[in-house]
Amino acid sequence: MTTPLAGRVALVTGSGRGIGREIALKLAAAGASVVVNDLDKDVAEQTAADIAAAGGKATACAGSVTDPGFAQRFVDTATDTYGGLHVVVNNAGYTWDTVVQKMTDEQWDDILDVHLKAPFRILRAAQPVISAAVKAERAAGVPRVTRKVVNISSVAGTAGNAGQINYSSAKAGVTGLTRTLAKEWGRYDVTVNCVAFGLIRTRLTEAPADGDASIDVDGRQIKVGVNPDLLARLETGIPLGRAGTPAEAAGAVYLFCQPESDYVSGQVVVCGGGFDG
């Protein structure tokens, strides 16, 4: 088995379940040492344990990405445990939907915090580590090391989606963050790209027939899921005729993490089975 990411250290937010878990597993299988994050400590530790059981390297860093001190703790976990930082995947998030006239300030702020402010804070915390490492590598004459940032967006951010003005706005902001940081961090040999997901089957989209499903976010019960009949109708609008799987979503992220994409930066790729909004 080839390990193109051997010696690399990766941070993946929201990687205890779903798409994030598949990203963590894929990076670890490629040789990266992965810092796994989830709100649920048990879930994060289980994913890390699964990676270790498969012969990979991983450690858990549980907690909310929106906590003010989380970003520094997350970066410190990578450097303290594995001695470096090479890949950052900003994946954590959830939806809290309603139409604009019914949306509260709390709904707006919380969704922008998790999808836009949290990635900003993590990348800000990562900058001194990356800058120092690059200076040291260049001074030592080490061959170029290309580091990777992959931010997660959505077709809701590229085209908008009724009932998701908070989520769509946050994900549109991720595009601006990505393209700006690609310009700022090119001098460090860091590529910064974005994957915008279409319809992917996760616990946020799948729900029982009665639509009664929720997730716990910091003690709040947030309703999630798409009615199965509506989900089936949505799939008919996808050229490939079906929703994507978490593993397929992770594959799109991996495209930007592997060495073959070392000269691709500032791009947004839609992973939507041909549907782009």
- Active site members: 167
DSSP string, 95-112: ---B-GGG--HHHHHHHH
φ and ψ at 99, to 5 degrees? -75, 160
What is the spatial order of strands in the sheet that 57-60 belongs to? 57-60, 33-36, 9-12, 87-90, 147-154, 190-197, 268-271
For residue 240, what are the contacts with CB-CB under 8 A and spacing of at least 6?
273, 274
Q: How far apart are CA 268 and CA 265, in angstroms?
A: 9
β-pair type (220-223, 214-217): antiparallel
**Own/partner long-range contacts of 103-107 (Cβ < 8 Å, ≥24 apart):** 103/165, 103/166, 107/166
| Rounded-to-5 percentages of helix, strand, coil across the chain | 45, 20, 35
φ and ψ at 226, to 5 degrees? -120, 130
Q: Compute the half-sphere exposure of residue 145: CA atoms within 13 Å on the CB side of its CA.
A: 23
Q: How far apart are CA 24 and CA 256, in angstroms?
A: 14
Q: How far apart are CA 249 and CA 204, in angstroms?
A: 14
